[in-house]
């Protein structure tokens, strides 16, 4: 059996088209362009690429975008002052601090993210949004897991009553993914580095989400025949070679549906960020 390929490109194009339509509707109704501000501190090369991609997506969709570059020597106080400025800036509906922050700010990361107005927290990392998601209330949800969920729904993958297993419990991917699948009535198990007999657990999954950060970690013997496999991992194994957390070639022979890397979940993340900016603008204009 060769699995159905869930192409991120196809779904991302659809999500972006929807976001662009909603951005135009805001413009028509309120004369306001939804706006995103991205703060990047330091020179991390991967972050530079991510920020460029976000800026490009904004331009493509008619969303106003500002990239604020701050030196690696930026202090917590300086960064917080910049966030405060943006919290009050009427042109800006979404604020994102690109992670990782330079080493010197690592320990203060959550405190810095907490300073973003929850209404503008388009990464969905603020405790207010995390709490609202876990309470089943409307919230700005982290972009990668919300993209995975929307893709599953649009692809017609059943979720209600299905057994979902997530490998990885990060605040960015694993935990919000679990909340989203739970809200769709899946029976959810979250695995991590202390999980015993991981393969026995993953083999029970109708939907298997891999967010581990280890190349080709999920092998074919860990997958139930016919399962849907979502590979969130992005691992650079050579200067120009990216692989996921799933051993794609072997697993596609067992799975019913699978996302590739590259060309899978990664593309959904930016599309969902655009959607979050538009949602944030709609909510701010309503209140
Ligand atoms: P983290 O490093 O924050 O979390 C990794 C998780 O994997 C942890 O919960 C860890 O467990 C678990 N883990 C590690 N080793 C094992 C093991 N042997 N068995 C079971 N679980 C294990 O990573 P992220 O969630 O931030 O990212 C995961 C991957 O997704 C990365 O490759 C990242 O690059 C990618 N990513 C992709 C995005 C996209 O846009 N497509 C966006 C965000 C991330 P424990 O908690 O016990 O340490």
* pLDDT, mean of residues 258-286: 96
Residue 161 has pLDDT above 80, yes or no: yes
Note the pLDDT of residue 208: 99
* Gap between the Cα atoms of 258 and 229, Å rounded: 5
> What is the tens place of the pLDDT at every residue in 23-55?
999 999 999 999 999 999 999 988 999 999 999
Note the pLDDT of residue 22: 97
Choose the catalytic residue: 16, 98, 179, 231: 98
Find the Cα–Cα–Cα–Cα dihedral 67, 70, 71, 73, rounded to 10°. Answer: -150
> What is the tens place of the pLDDT at every residue in 192-209?
999 999 999 999 999 999
Check pocket membership of 198 for ligand 1, CB cut-off 6 A: yes
Check pocket membership of 260 for ligand 1, CB cut-off 6 A: no
Check pocket membership of 174 for ligand 1, CB cut-off 6 A: yes
Note the pLDDT of residue 111: 96
Ligand 1 atom with the shortest distance to the CA of 174: 25
Note the pLDDT of residue 287: 83
Note the pLDDT of residue 105: 97
E-strand ranges in 13-102 read: 35-41, 64-70, 94-97
Other C-beta atoms closer than 10 Å to the C-beta of 249 total: 9
Let me know if 54 is a catalytic residue. Answer: yes
Choose the catalytic residue: 82, 120, 121, 123: 123
Let me know if 137 is a catalytic residue. Answer: no
Note the pLDDT of residue 1: 66
How confident is the prediction for the chain on average, in pLDDT?
A: 97
E-strand ranges in the chain read: 4-5, 35-41, 64-70, 94-97, 163-167, 187-191, 207-210, 228-231, 235-238, 241-243, 257-258
Check pocket membership of 147 for ligand 1, CB cut-off 6 A: no
For atom 1 of ligand 1, which residue has the closest CA? 170
């Amino acid at each position: 059996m060769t699995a159905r390929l869930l192409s991120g490109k196809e779904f991302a194009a659809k999500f972006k088209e929807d976001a662009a339509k909603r951005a135009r509707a805001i413009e028509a109704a309120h004369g306001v362009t939804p706006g995103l501000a991205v703060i990047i501190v330091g020179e991390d090369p991967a972050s530079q690429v991510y920020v460029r991609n976000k800026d490009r997506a904004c331009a493509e969709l008619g969303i106003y975008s500002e990239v604020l570059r701050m030196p690696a020597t930026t202090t917590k106080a300086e960064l917080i002052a910049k966030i405060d400025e943006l919290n009050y800036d009427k042109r800006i509906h979404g604020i994102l601090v690109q992670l990782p922050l330079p080493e010197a700010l690592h320990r203060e990361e959550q405190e810095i993210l907490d300073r973003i107005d929850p209404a503008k927290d388009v990464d969905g990392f603020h405790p207010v949004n995390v709490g609202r998601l876990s309470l089943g209330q409307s919230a700005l949800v982290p972009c990668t897991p919300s993209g995975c969920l929307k893709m599953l729904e649009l692809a017609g993958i059943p979720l209600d009553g299905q057994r979902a297993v997530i490998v990885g419990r990060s605040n960015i991917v694993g935990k919000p993914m679990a909340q989203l699948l739970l809200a769709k009535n899946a029976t959810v198990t979250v695995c991590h580095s202390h999980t015993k007999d991981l393969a026995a657990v993953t083999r029970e999954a109708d939907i298997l989400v891999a967010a581990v950060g280890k190349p080709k970690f999920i092998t074919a013997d860990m997958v139930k025949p016919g399962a849907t496999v979502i590979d969130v991992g992005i691992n650079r194994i050579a200067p120009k070679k990216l692989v996921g957390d799933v051993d794609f070639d072997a697993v596609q022979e067992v799975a019913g549906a699978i996302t590739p890397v590259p060309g899978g979940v990664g593309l959904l993340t930016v599309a969902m960020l655009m959607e979050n900016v538009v949602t944030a603008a709609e909510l701010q204009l309503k209140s």
